[in-house]
A = this chain, B = another copy of it.
Amino acid sequence: MAHLDRVFHSLSDGTRRAVIAQLANGPASIGDLARRHHMALPSFMKHMRVLEESKMVASRKVGRVRMCQLRPKALTAAQTWLARERRVWEARLNQLDSFVEALAAEEHSNGRK
């Protein structure tokens, strides 16, 4: 799914993760954010575009300043996917466990014969 691609791609860059971490503490302007990351504005805007296209950040212009904020469900797509895969994975491990237990049990009873 293209949306998940974008979400994880957004998260794959340290600068963007830092932006998300910072926006979690409240909105900020593009200029503010760029300054904190020692980066030229146009470079930084590319990151913001990536974050907006992945629907993790929203922005609107107030006067000549653009304010950015984290969107409410910014992280849920990623978390949902991870949680689901992890459930599958753990379910299988449990199966393996019981398989091994079953084997062990059988071994035991065989040994006792």
Contacts and interface: CB of A to CB of B under 8 A. Distances in A.
B88 A25 contact: yes
Contacts of A83: 79
A21 B85 contact: yes
Contact of A86 (B5, B26, B79): B79
A14 B24 contact: no
A4 B54 CA distance: 18
Contacts of A11: 4, 8, 11-12, 78, 81
Given A8-B12, A79-B86, 14 more contacts: A1-B14, A5-B12, A6-B12, A8-B9, A8-B11, A11-B78, A20-B85, A24-B85, A24-B88, A24-B92, A25-B88, A26-B92, A70-B89, A74-B89
